[in-house]
Amino acid sequence: MRFDVNGPQGPLYVDRSIPPNRIGSGESDGGVIVISSGFIAGQLPSHVGTHVEAEAERYSTSTGWVTYSFAPSGVGESAGVFTPDSWTADLAAVIAAVRKEHGGAPLVAFGCGVFGAVVPWFRLGRVAADGVVSVGTPLHALGADSYARLGELMVASGVRVRSGEFEDIVTSELSLYRRCGGVRVQEIAETEQASPWLIIHPTSGRSELEGALTPELLSSAGVEVHYFQGDLGSIAYDPRSMAVIVGWLERRY
């Protein structure tokens, strides 16, 4: 069902899914998940809402947690245009609205695929997320060819950007992944009082992940890492990934 949230640029497309065990009096009890969902590579903007709704239902059904999934500004039916800054502000707005709805319930921020790179920022305490989950998200800085490919996918998927803004996102030192994923990951991870962090990553990307994060971080008590065969796009749909997520939530919360 739709959930009303206004981001800095206007209404955001947010879907709320309530698992069967929480319908009725249990809706306000137990944990809450917020997913940064984003676009589907090559699909029309009109398909974004279907994807957002499916993500919310899949995670709520599997975990038993009320789940909110949203598309950031400039994506699908969410108002405005996409920028890295608006992306972080949108996630902050959704988390604030969900906090207001659910009070002190445990809230875990999920990031999946391309649009999951923003989520680790919330280990910095900018918004009170009690945990962070990254599923199939590149956390290392990418090369120019990868940025260009990302740009092609965004254009093909109808992501709206200001004239001239997209080139800055793709080519600047403070580009999409560098701002939200790669360059500051170590700083984020080492922040005192950082939230627990679950990382699920393809085996093929293990060397890149281990290059972005220190061995001390990867072996620390607050960080749990699992590798599975597959690619960044498919690993979120691997039943083993969901089993790990369910177990992690049960142990942590």
pLDDT in tens, the chain (253 residues): 889 999 999 999 999 999 987 776 556 668 999 998 765 555 565 667 787 888 899 999 999 999 999 988 888 888 998 876 777 788 889 999 999 999 889 999 888 776 666 555 554 445 568 888 888 876 654 444 455 566 666 766 777 776 655 555 444 433 444 444 443 445 555 554 567 889 899 998 888 778 767 777 777 778 899 999 988 778 888 999 999 999 999 999 9
Q: Hey, where are the domains in the chain?
A: 5-252
Tell me the CA distances in angstroms from 239 to 9, 40, 157, 246, one per residue in order: 36, 20, 27, 11
Backbone angles phi, psi at 211, to 5 degrees: -75, -25
Stated as kind and residue range, the H or E segment containing 132 is: strand 131-135
Helices 239-252, 48-63: axis angle to 10 degrees equals: 60
Distance CA 124, CA 101 (A): 23
Sheet of 107-112: strands edge to edge?
5-7, 10-17, 66-71, 32-36, 107-112, 131-135, 197-202, 223-228
Stated as kind and residue range, the H or E segment containing 198 is: strand 197-202
> Between β-strands 32-36 and 107-112, what pairing exists: parallel, antiparallel or unpaired?
parallel
CATH number of this structure's domain 5-252, picked from the four choices 3.30.470.10, 3.40.109.10, 3.40.50.1820, 3.10.180.10: 3.40.50.1820
Q: What is the DSSP letter of 6?
A: E
pTM: 0.83
